[in-house]
Amino acid sequence: MREIFVVHKDGSFFAYYNTCPHTGATLEWQENQFLDMDNTLIQCATHDALFIIDTGECIAGPCTGDSLEALPLIIESNQIHLDI
C-alpha cells in the first residue's frame, strides 16, 4: 500500500503519492508536515528538494525536473474523493 497526501492551497486540493522521485523516500518532516517554512512549496525532508504545490514539479534539489506522482481528486458535497 502506498501513502498519499493532500495539500489545500487557495481553495484547491492537490493529491500526491508520498514518494520522493529522488530515492523513493517519504517526504514529510514530521507527521502531516509536507511544506517548507513559508508554506509555499512541498519540501522533501531527506535532501530538501522543493516541489510546486499545484503541479508536483521539482524546482530545486537533486530531482529537479522530475515530478511527484499526482492523483486525481473529485470534490462533491464538501467531500474529497480520489478518482482512481
Q: Which residues bind ligand FES (CB under 6 A)?
A: 20, 22-23, 25, 44, 46-47, 49, 61-63
Q: Which is nearer to ligand FES, 60 or 80 (CB)?
A: 60
What CA–CA distance (Å, rounded) separates 50 from 68? Answer: 10
Burial class from Cβ neighbours inside 10 Å (0-12, 13-18, 19+) for residue 57 reads middle
- Minimum distance of ligand FES from residue 16's CB (angstroms): 13
Q: Which is nearer to ligand FES, 62 or 73 (CB)?
A: 62
Q: Which is nearer to ligand FES, 15 or 27 (CB)?
A: 27
DSSP 8-state secondary structure symbol assigned to residue 24: S
DSSP H helices, the chain, are none
